[in-house]
């Protein structure tokens, strides 16, 4: 059985998808870009500033599902410029810093929605 997870504390989906879907003990969070939930506008000019907003959005979705970053088992980071890898890692490490860190992939992409510099999707487990 799958369940749609949605909160107004994170930006609404800007396409035909859910913020997150819970399937059994797993939560699949759609890629989050640095949109302010209230305005729908990009927050931050630098990649690090944008990453902070992305993590706020991810945190809100995790909370709506009764989870935290400790539940995250996989993350995918998409960057408009791979040179920003280190800046995003610094922000990432503030939120994901437990004994068992999630598996992760990071990619540079040609462009991200709304001109964002960073997008992150996650899979969390509550078992």
Give the pLDDT score at 91: 98
| Blockwise average pLDDT, block size 10, the chain, 127 residues | 96 92 98 97 97 98 98 98 97 95 97 97 95
- What top-level class would CATH report for the domain 2-125? alpha beta
Contact (Cβ atoms closer than 8 angstroms) between residue 87 and residue 48: yes
Give the pLDDT score at 18: 96
pTM metric for this prediction: 0.96
C-alpha angle 104-52-6 in degrees, rounded to nearest 5: 80
Give the pLDDT score at 15: 87
Domain boundaries along the sequence of the chain:
2-125
Give the pLDDT score at 127: 82
Give the pLDDT score at 81: 98
Helix (H) or strand (E) holding 81: none
> What is the distance between the alpha carbons of residues 27 and 22, in angstroms, rounded to a whole number?
4
Coil, strand or helix at 89? helix
């Amino acid at each position: 059985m799958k369940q749609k997870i949605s909160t107004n504390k994170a930006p609404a989906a800007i396409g035909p998808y859910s913020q997150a879907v819970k399937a059994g003990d797993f939560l699949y969070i759609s890629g989050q870009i640095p949109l302010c939930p209230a305005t729908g506008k990009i927050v931050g000019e630098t990649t690090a500033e944008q990453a902070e907003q992305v993590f706020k959005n991810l945190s809100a979705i995790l909370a709506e599902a009764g989870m935290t970053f400790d539940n995250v088992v996989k993350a995918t980071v998409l960057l408009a410029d791979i040179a920003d890898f280190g800046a995003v890692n610094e922000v990432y490490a503030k939120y994901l810093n437990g004994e068992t860190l999630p598996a992760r992939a990071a990619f540079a992409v040609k462009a991200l929605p709304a001109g964002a510099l960073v997008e992150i999707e996650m899979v969390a487990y509550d078992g």
